[in-house]
Amino acid sequence: MSTRIDDEILRAYLADALPAEELARVEKALRDSSELRARLEDVRQNRGDPGLHTLGAIWRRARLTCPTRQQLGSFLLDALDPELASYIQFHLDVIECPYCQANLADLKSRTTQASPATKDRRNRILRSSQHLLGDEGRS
Ligand SMILES: [Zn+2]
pLDDT tens-digit profile of 110-135?
Answer: 877 655 555 666 666 666 666 665 55
Q: Separation of 41 CA from ligand 1 center, angstroms?
A: 21
Distance 64 CA to ligand 1 centre (A): 8
Distance 28 CA to ligand 1 centre (A): 15
CA of 9 to the centre of ligand 1 (A): 22
How far does residue 91's CA lie from ligand 1's centre (Å)?
6
pTM above 0.75, yes or no: no
Separation in Å, CA 2 to CA 22, 23, 52: 11, 13, 27
* CB atoms closer than 10 angstroms to residue 79: 10
| pLDDT tens sequence across 74-108 | 999 999 988 889 889 988 988 888 889 999 999 99
Provide the residue ranges of all domains of the chain, joining segments of one domain with +. 1-65, 66-139
Q: What is the pLDDT of residue 111?
A: 75
Compute, in angstroms, the gap from residue 100 CA to the centroid of ligand 1: 4
CA of 60 to the centre of ligand 1 (A): 9
